[in-house]
A and B are shown apart, each in its own frame.
Chain A
């Protein structure tokens, strides 16, 4: 537990510092210990994003020598002064340092914005309630990751978790068991193409936007090396019928990506795979299985996915979503430059 300090005078003893590679363990341990920490604020995830071309800026907030919060800022370089700083899953701050910590981070965002040419800082802390320290933020029109999700409590026994599932879920699971569907998890990178084949089949079938193969190569290679993720497969009679990428962070296992074959639906391979993932996460000591995205709106485009997920029981969980802090000096600067260069023709 962090030492509680009474911040009658905001920043006394509190400092923001750039985190260096030697701070990696400290940062990750801190993040994993918080229930609101998100894997997108992990060091390994930021390595993955760096591989994807992002610049990463890592800051820790220290109360004297103790880490009490911080944030990873991501910036995709582009020639021009219309850009965003983004912090998916961040910032992460302990409750006692929300106000003072946030002030320091906003100051840092302003410095970075000026240096890099960003007009806003988009955050997405995994908080359920808006703290006052976000009063200068406005709701972003789009999220960086799902703000509503479905969580399964992994602390009860497997039998109890099964019992908490909807009858339909148990029925589907029993069908998969009866059919002999098996589940396996691996960190062998040779599983990436097999995963992608099923992922892409789903993308085509469901007509949603899917990331390219190279994205998953970079993602898996980075997270596998950090022991943060596994690929799971459901197999039936030698055929791979469903696949997922499961990410482990802190006490949470998150179903990040998935795909399935549309052949042999009667053997309910996706049900078996999720149950296998729940068991796997529990064995690894996780307390929460996160379906990463859920809606209670029956008209939502993802309603049928959510219906499937809800068969496993669980509790819907909503975070505040993404918010934008506009860097008005930068935005004004960009607009003035543009208006100057466009000639400001009188029309």
Chain B
């Protein structure tokens, strides 16, 4: 399903696709000129006397195509967009803004997934490929920012061809931005990052916006100094554009601290959802000043991570590692992004902190005997020492013996259970917003007056886990959180 919304304002329109801003006519020219014009101008310099073939991936609104069509050297444009509804708007409502670009006889529209389209394209087909995709809001959306995607793009480009793509905000999504940079380098591109201020994006909370200009052959300063822009542009000027390659060092230095994004071990969603990983130490002198990427020719330093940090298994590993390090190092502050990464773009670190305060209640819900019995039915699949510990725990609960000490194996079991319960609750976007104690603007109660416990024979064993959960959390050093859950935002 797709949601299309055109907000009309005094000066024009803003277009939202599935709730995300695509463009505002107030300043879309900034985005589209920076995305398209330099790449085309560079391609003209690199491929003189050539009929250029251009591929636009996404861009069904026709605005990127408008910019490409400025260049008479372009003989053909393929535009691939999977969404016919957007293209229809591009041909009608947006026609006045894209100068009717989508009906150009130099342009062919393909209603197809860009990934599939590119898979069918012969090598070296295009001199320019433009990535004009929407901001990735879920894991599936990040496929077209992966190593594998960039490799496909590289293959489809003519020798020396130019790839230009929008990125994310280097300011607010620093790790995500450099993850894209390192992924481009890993795919064999020489990539130049650049950033600009787009007021409507900033107003929507995106911060400075990033782009990449990339090619398999090194892009040199001489080339960039020599290219000529068309004369009738709305906003782009060569001096301003050349400045866009400069980044504050404190932002730029972060580029060596990220993993690349590939399909097997995706990282981009994690970086975008958990942006606080980009917080940098301002006290370090190396973080001051500017770094100009025009003069920088560097090889990639990004590695493929061993973990997909949004996966339950990674979370459980992070908890176990933290527990081990907590045992050795007192006052080791936990990295909540790793211990419990945000899973949805609606969520915030503040929400997570509140949500974590429910961990004991989550544990208290569990009929531990029933769970243990279910697990012990498959005891042969468990590591033997854990199976033994679970048997022992089941026996203690059954016979009413106190549980005073938690063995390391039991910690492992409890960590796995706790992270599973937390993850299950946190991956559902509504569960966070609708949490009873702070639900919605119209307010709500923190709980029902109905006593559910009388319904449940599980509560006694659940309370056992509640107590164990307290011990576990104390052991974790997570006691800085207000576990009472009584401290709400409202």
Q: How many residues of A contact B (CB 8 A)?
A: 101
- Asked, given contacts A336-B381, A338-B416, whether A84 binds B425 with beta carbons under 8 Å apart, the answer is yes
Contact with B along A52-68 (1 / 0, CB 8 A): 11000000000000000
- Asked, given contacts A141-B358, A213-B19, whether A331 binds B374 with beta carbons under 8 Å apart, the answer is yes
Contact with B along A199-214 (1 / 0, CB 8 A): 1001100111111111
Q: Which A residues, 60 to 85, have Cβ-Cβ distances below 8 Å to chain B?
A: 74, 76, 78-84
Q: How far is the CA of A144 from the CA of B375 in the complex (A)?
A: 30
Q: Are A138 and B370 in contact (CB under 8 A)?
A: no
Contact with B along A274-289 (1 / 0, CB 8 A): 0000000000000000
A236–chain B nearest beta-carbon distance, Å:
20
Q: Are A256 and B452 in contact (CB under 8 A)?
A: no
Which residues of chain B have C-beta atoms less than 8 A from A255's C-beta?
Answer: 442
Q: Are A51 and B448 in contact (CB under 8 A)?
A: no
Query: Smallest CB-CB separation from A344: which chain B residue?
Result: B383
Which residues of chain B have C-beta atoms less than 8 A from A339's C-beta?
Answer: 382-383, 386, 412-413, 416
Q: Which of A25-33, A103-111, A185-193, A226-234 interfaces with chain B?
A: A185-193
- Asked, given contacts A138-B455, A293-B439, whether A320 binds B424 with beta carbons under 8 Å apart, the answer is no
Which residues of chain B have C-beta atoms less than 8 A from A206's C-beta?
Answer: 441, 490
Q: Which B residues, 3 to 61, have Cβ-Cβ distances below 8 Å to chain A?
A: 3, 5, 7-9, 16, 18-20
Q: How far is the CA of A338 from the CA of B314 in the complex (A)?
A: 10
A119: CB under 8 A from chain B? yes
Contact of A141 (CB < 8 Å), options: B362, B385, B450, B458 = B362
Contact of A326 (CB < 8 Å), options: B2, B366, B382, B436 = B366
Q: Which of B253-261, B291-299, B343-351 interfaces with chain A?
A: B343-351
Q: Are A294 and B19 in contact (CB under 8 A)?
A: no
Q: Are A342 and B412 in contact (CB under 8 A)?
A: yes
Q: Which B residues, 413 to 456, have Cβ-Cβ distances below 8 Å to chain A?
A: 413, 416-417, 419-421, 423-425, 427-450, 452-453, 455-456
Q: Which of B94-102, B153-161, B169-177, B316-324 interfaces with chain A?
A: B316-324
Which residues of chain B have C-beta atoms less than 8 A from A120's C-beta?
Answer: 424
- Asked, given contacts A84-B431, A119-B420, whether A320 binds B450 with beta carbons under 8 Å apart, the answer is yes
B306–chain A nearest beta-carbon distance, Å:
13
- Asked, given contacts A142-B435, A189-B5, A218-B18, whether A147 binds B412 with beta carbons under 8 Å apart, the answer is no
Q: Are B316 and A83 in contact (CB under 8 A)?
A: no
- Asked, given contacts A295-B445, A320-B448, whether A78 binds B427 with beta carbons under 8 Å apart, the answer is yes
A96: CB under 8 A from chain B? no
Contact of B444 (CB < 8 Å), options: A145, A211, A329, A344 = A145
A345–chain B nearest beta-carbon distance, Å:
8
B304: CB under 8 A from chain A? no
Which residues of chain A have C-beta atoms less than 8 A from B409's C-beta?
Answer: 344, 346-347
- Asked, given contacts A293-B442, A336-B378, A344-B382, whether A214 binds B19 with beta carbons under 8 Å apart, the answer is yes
A169: CB under 8 A from chain B? no
How many residue pairs, one in A and one in B, have C-beta atoms under 8 Å apart?
306
Q: Which B residues, 315 to 353, have Cβ-Cβ distances below 8 Å to chain A?
A: 316-317, 320, 324, 343-346, 348, 350-351
Q: How far is the CA of A78 from the CA of B345 in the complex (A)?
A: 13
Q: How far is the CA of A171 from the CA of B212 in the complex (A)?
A: 61
Q: How far is the CA of A334 from the CA of B383 in the complex (A)?
A: 15
Q: Are A257 and B448 in contact (CB under 8 A)?
A: no
Q: How far is the CA of A10 from the CA of B79 in the complex (A)?
A: 59
Q: How far is the CA of A119 from the CA of B456 in the complex (A)?
A: 18
Query: Smallest CB-CB separation from A323: which chain B residue?
Result: B452
Q: Which of A1-9, A11-19, A172-180, A300-308 interfaces with chain B?
A: A300-308
Q: Are B139 and A79 in contact (CB under 8 A)?
A: yes
Q: How far is the CA of A202 from the CA of B375 in the complex (A)?
A: 48
B107: CB under 8 A from chain A? no
Q: Are B445 and A148 in contact (CB under 8 A)?
A: yes
Query: Smallest CB-CB separation from A296: which chain B residue?
Result: B445
Q: How far is the CA of A81 from the CA of B413 in the complex (A)?
A: 16
Q: Are B453 and A139 in contact (CB under 8 A)?
A: yes
Q: How far is the CA of A331 from the CA of B423 in the complex (A)?
A: 12
Contact of B361 (CB < 8 Å), options: A118, A141, A294, A295 = A141
Which residues of chain B have C-beta atoms less than 8 A from A192's C-beta?
Answer: 5, 7
Which residues of chain A have C-beta atoms less than 8 A from B408's C-beta?
Answer: 346-347
Q: Are A199 and B441 in contact (CB under 8 A)?
A: yes
Q: How far is the CA of A293 from the CA of B409 in the complex (A)?
A: 44
Which residues of chain B have C-beta atoms less than 8 A from A345's C-beta?
Answer: 412
Query: Smallest CB-CB separation from B310: which chain A residue?
Result: A79
B459: CB under 8 A from chain A? yes
A102–chain B nearest beta-carbon distance, Å:
13
Contact of B443 (CB < 8 Å), options: A217, A295, A320, A326 = A295
Which residues of chain A have C-beta atoms less than 8 A from B429's C-beta?
Answer: 52-53, 76
Which residues of chain A have C-beta atoms less than 8 A from B105's C-beta?
Answer: none
- Asked, given contacts A144-B434, A207-B489, A215-B346, whether A300 binds B453 with beta carbons under 8 Å apart, the answer is no
Q: Are A143 and B316 in contact (CB under 8 A)?
A: no
Q: Are B442 and A305 in contact (CB under 8 A)?
A: yes
Q: Are A324 and B450 in contact (CB under 8 A)?
A: no
Contact with B along A123-164 (1 / 0, CB 8 A): 000000110001101111111111111000000000000000
Contact of B427 (CB < 8 Å), options: A76, A193, A222, A259 = A76
Which residues of chain A have C-beta atoms less than 8 A from B420's C-beta?
Answer: 82, 119, 331, 334-335, 338
Q: Are A209 and B489 in contact (CB under 8 A)?
A: yes
A343: CB under 8 A from chain B? yes
Q: How far is the CA of A313 from the CA of B343 in the complex (A)?
A: 41
Q: How far is the CA of A331 from the CA of B345 in the complex (A)?
A: 26
A269–chain B nearest beta-carbon distance, Å:
15
- Asked, given contacts A221-B5, A318-B448, whether A292 binds B442 with beta carbons under 8 Å apart, the answer is yes
Q: Are A208 and B448 in contact (CB under 8 A)?
A: no
Contact with A along B239-281 (1 / 0, CB 8 A): 0000000000000000000000000000000000000000000
Contact of B374 (CB < 8 Å), options: A190, A202, A329 = A329
A91: CB under 8 A from chain B? no
Which residues of chain A have C-beta atoms less than 8 A from B383's C-beta?
Answer: 339-340, 343-344, 346
A-B CB contact pairs (8 Å), 12 listed: A82-B427, A138-B455, A146-B443, A147-B444, A207-B490, A257-B440, A292-B444, A326-B371, A336-B381, A338-B312, A339-B416, A347-B412
**Further 13 A-B residue pairs, CB within 8 A, beyond A82-B424, A148-B449, A211-B346:** A51-B18, A53-B429, A130-B455, A142-B431, A144-B430, A147-B448, A190-B8, A217-B3, A217-B5, A294-B443, A305-B443, A331-B374, A347-B411
8 nearest A-B pairs in the assembled complex, by CB-CB distance: A214-B19, A344-B383, A146-B444, A139-B452, A143-B436, A321-B448, A302-B443, A141-B361
Q: Which residues of B contact A (CB under 8 A)?
A: 1-3, 5, 7-9, 16, 18-20, 138-139, 204, 308, 310-313, 316-317, 320, 324, 343-346, 348, 350-351, 358, 361-362, 364-367, 370-371, 374-375, 377-378, 381-383, 385-386, 408-409, 411-413, 416-417, 419-421, 423-425, 427-450, 452-453, 455-456, 458-459, 462, 488-490
Q: Which residues of A contact B (CB under 8 A)?
A: 47, 49-53, 74, 76, 78-84, 86, 88, 118-120, 122, 129-130, 134-135, 137-149, 189-190, 192-193, 199, 202-203, 206-215, 217-218, 221-222, 255-259, 291-295, 297, 300-302, 305-306, 309, 318-324, 326, 328-329, 331-332, 334-336, 338-347
